Amino acid sequence: GDRVSQTLLLLGGTGDLAARLLLPGLGRLVDTGAQPGLTLIGSGSGTEDWDDERWRRRVADAFATVGADGPRATEVVRTTRYVSADVTREEDLRRLLTDCRGRLVIFFALPPMITARAAAALARIGLPPGTRLMLEKPFGTNAVSARSLNGILARFVPEDQVHRIDHFLGKSTVMNILGLRFANRIFEPVLNSAHVACVDVVFDETLGLEGRAGYYDGAGALVDMVQSHLLQVLALIAMDAPPTLDARDLRGRKAQVLRATRVWDDDPVRWSRRARYTAGEAAGRRLPAYADEPGIDPNRETETLAEVVLAVDTWRWAGVPFRLRSGKALAGKREEAVVTFKQPPRVPTGLTGYEQPDRLRIGFGPDRLSLDVNINGPGNPLELDQVNLAADFGPGELPPYGEVLRGAFEGDPALSVRGDTVEDSWRIVEPVLEAWRAGAVPLQEYPAGSHGPGDSLLTPAPGELRRH
C-alpha cells in the first residue's frame, strides 16, 4: 500500500449509492488499516438540508451496518465533513478542492449528465497532480456521450488515474474466474468453440425497484446490468490469458474480447427480449407493478428484464452463443455464469442416462464454483446420473465497493473499466436499444415472482441442448 494521506471527496454523497454500498465498503476498507490518514468529505447539492452533523450520522450508520467500528473507522467518522456545492460550477469546485489535504480521490456518485458537466468544469480549473477520479456507472448514456466524456477527462487527467467503476469486478467470485481459468490445467484447453455449446451469464434478482425510480427508470435492465456488469463477466470468461494481472495486461485482454463482440447475427430484433414486471409476490414480498411504482413514467416503457444473445468473433469463440440475461422481481435469485459443453463425440452403446451436458458453473451469489458431470449412479453402473461437484467460497476480505475503492487509493486501475472498453460496451448494446426504441421488439410483461416471460432466449435450457 501507499502511505500518503489522502482525501476522498464524495460527490453525490447524500444519495442512495453512498448510503447502501459506498460508505459501507469504505468502512470495511478503512477498518483493515490499509488506508491510514484518510479524510472523507461528503458533498451534496444544497437543495436538501444537510450539515456536518447529519452527514456524520449518515457515515456512522453506514459503517455500523458492516461493523466497521475500529479506531481507523472511528477516526474517519470523527473527522468527516460535509460541504454543500453545485459541482457543475467552477467556483464551487474550486472551493471544494482548496478544502482538501493530501492526495485527492474524487468519487462521482452522480447521474451521467451531471458527471459530464462536473468533469467539464474540472477540466477548466484543473486538478492537483496525482488526483484520481472514480466514476460510477452508467458512464455516459450511449457511445457518443461516453466518447465525449472520455475526451473531456483525457484533457486533464491521465487514463490510469480514471477509475470507471464496475463493482462486479470487485466481487470475489468474479475475480476467482482468473484463478479458475489460468491456474488450472484442466479448464482452459476446453474453453473454446470445439468443446463449448454456449455460455450463459445470468443475473436474476428477486428485488424490485427498491425506491430507485429516479435512476432506474432512465436506465432499465439492459443499461443497468448488461452494458456494464454482464459484459465485464463475459470478457473475463472469454479473454485469452494475460501474462500478468496488471492493469495494462488484464484490461488489454478484456478489451480485445469486447471489440470482437456484437449481437448474434447482427439481428437485435430476433436476439433480444425486454419485459417488465406486473404486480405479484417475489421472495415473500408483495410488489406493485413496475409501472405503478412512484416516480415511474409508464410511457417510457423501461424494461426490468433484458436478454440478449451475443457473438464473440474470435478464433476461439466463433459460433458459440453468449446468452446474457438480467431481470428484477423474479421467482428466485440466480446469479451465475454457466459454460455448457457439447456432448462427447461418441458415447459407447450400452451407456445410458448421459443426456445432460457437462456444465461449469460460476456462481456470484452464493459464491460457488461447480461442475455438473455424468458419472455412474448407485445402481446399475452403466446407467449414468448427473452429479454436481461444488466448492463454496467464503465472502472476500472486502465487499465489492471496498475492493474498488482500494484500487483507487492504491492507484491501481486493474479493477476499473478502461475508456475504450466502456465505449465498446455501448457499441455492443446500442443496436438493441435502437430496435427497442423503434418498437421492433415488443415489451412483454411478467408477474413479479414468476420466471419471466415465457419465450426466454435462454431456452432451450442448457440441459436441453443437444449434440452440435
Binding site for ligand BG6 (CB under 6 A): 205, 224, 365, 400
Q: Is 333 annotated as a binding residue?
A: yes
In the complex, minimum distance from the CB of residue 205 to ligand BG6, in angstroms, rounded to a whole number = 6
Nearest 5°: CA angle at 202, between 197 and 203? 170
In the complex, minimum distance from the CB of residue 5 to ligand BG6, in angstroms, rounded to a whole number = 30
Residue type, 291: A
In the complex, minimum distance from the CB of residue 364 to ligand BG6, in angstroms, rounded to a whole number = 7
In the complex, minimum distance from the CB of residue 328 to ligand BG6, in angstroms, rounded to a whole number = 7
User: Euclidean distance between the first and final Cα of the chain, in Å?
Assistant: 50
Does an H or E element contain 117, and which?
Answer: helix 112-125
Q: Is 412 annotated as a binding residue?
A: no
Q: Is 163 annotated as a binding residue?
A: no
Q: Is 205 annotated as a binding residue?
A: yes
Handedness of CA 145, 151, 155, 160 (dihedral sign): positive
Q: Is 326 annotated as a binding residue?
A: no
> Coil, strand, or helix at residue 78?
helix
Q: Using alpha carbons, select from 262, 297, 304, 283 the residue that is nearest to residue 432.
A: 262
Does an H or E element contain 234, and which?
Answer: helix 231-238
The smaller minimum CB distance to ligand BG6, of residues 197 and 222, is found at: 222
Among 195, 229, 451, 468, which one carries the catalytic annotation? 229
The smaller minimum CB distance to ligand BG6, of residues 97 and 308, is found at: 308
The smaller minimum CB distance to ligand BG6, of residues 211 and 298, is found at: 211
In the complex, minimum distance from the CB of residue 399 to ligand BG6, in angstroms, rounded to a whole number = 8
Q: Is 167 annotated as a binding residue?
A: yes
Give dist(CA 361, CA 365) in Å, integer.
12
The DSSP code sequence of 3-70 is -S-EEEEEETTTSHHIIIIIHHHHHHHHHTTSSTTEEEEEEE-SSS---HHHHHHHHHHHHHHTT--S
Residues 86, 92 contacting (CB under 8 angstroms): yes
Give dist(CA 419, CA 164) in Å, integer.
8
In the complex, minimum distance from the CB of residue 466 to ligand BG6, in angstroms, rounded to a whole number = 33
The smaller minimum CB distance to ligand BG6, of residues 10 and 311, is found at: 10
Residue type, 247: A
Give dist(CA 222, CA 280) in Å, integer.
22
Beta strands across the sheet bearing 6-11: 81-84, 38-44, 6-11, 103-108, 132-135, 162-164
Q: CB-based contacts of 40: which residues, under 8 Å, 6+ apart?
A: 7, 8, 10, 26, 59, 76, 79, 80, 81
Q: Is 16 annotated as a binding residue?
A: no
Say how many CA atoms lie within 13 Å of 420 toward its Cβ.
Answer: 12
The smaller minimum CB distance to ligand BG6, of residues 24 and 400, is found at: 400
The smaller minimum CB distance to ligand BG6, of residues 200 and 372, is found at: 200
The smaller minimum CB distance to ligand BG6, of residues 43 and 228, is found at: 228
The smaller minimum CB distance to ligand BG6, of residues 138 and 321, is found at: 138
Give dist(CA 414, CA 354) in Å, integer.
42
In the complex, minimum distance from the CB of residue 439 to ligand BG6, in angstroms, rounded to a whole number = 25
Give dist(CA 353, CA 359) in Å, integer.
16
Q: Three cell numbers at 61?
A: 450508520
Q: Give the CB-nearest residue to ligand BG6.
A: 224
Residues 332, 452 contacting (CB under 8 angstroms): no
In the complex, minimum distance from the CB of residue 167 to ligand BG6, in angstroms, rounded to a whole number = 6
Q: Does the annotation mark 229 as catalytic? A: yes
Q: How many residues does the chain have?
A: 468
Q: Is 240 annotated as a binding residue?
A: no
Q: Is 254 annotated as a binding residue?
A: no
Question: Residue ranges for the binding site for substrate?
Answer: 167, 171, 205, 224, 328, 333
Residues classed as catalytic? 229
Question: Residue ranges for the binding site for NADP(+)?
Answer: 45, 86-87, 137
Question: Residue ranges for the binding site?
Answer: 45, 86-87, 137, 167, 171, 205, 224, 328, 333
